[in-house]
């Protein structure tokens, strides 16, 4: 496997949430730097062999404005 993709969103409370596309990997953190460390740790724990060489982060920020 060459890469794994994570969708990152702002948490309803505070901080960030990350979920892997196509895998049951989920983590959350208060800061983006902490989230990146937790994502790497989660990927290491999930894959014994054939660990992805790249982790792609896709950050989605939903914003509402008055019309």
Q: pLDDT truncated to tens, each residue of the chain (67 aa)?
A: 799 999 999 998 899 999 999 999 999 999 999 999 999 999 999 998 889 999 999 999 988 899 9
Q: Which of 46, 38, 37, 60 is nearest to 1 (CA)?
A: 46
Alpha-carbon distance 11 to 22, whole Å?
A: 20
Is residue 67 a part of any domain in this protein?
no
Is residue 9 a part of any domain in this protein?
no
CB atoms within 10 A of CB 15: 14
Tell whether pTM > 0.85.
yes
Work out how many domains the chain is built from and give that number: 1
Alpha helices of 1-67 — where are they, by DSSP H?
32-46
Any bridge partners for residue 51, and if so which? none
Is residue 42 a part of any domain in this protein?
yes
């Amino acid at each position: 496997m060459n890469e794994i993709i994570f969708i990152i969103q702002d948490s309803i409370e505070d901080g960030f949430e990350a979920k892997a596309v196509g895998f049951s990997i989920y983590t959350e953190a208060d800061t983006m730097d902490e989230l990146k460390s937790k994502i790497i740790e989660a990927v290491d724990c999930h894959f014994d062999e054939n660990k992805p060489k790249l982790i792609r982060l896709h950050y989605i920020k939903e914003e509402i404005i008055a019309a």
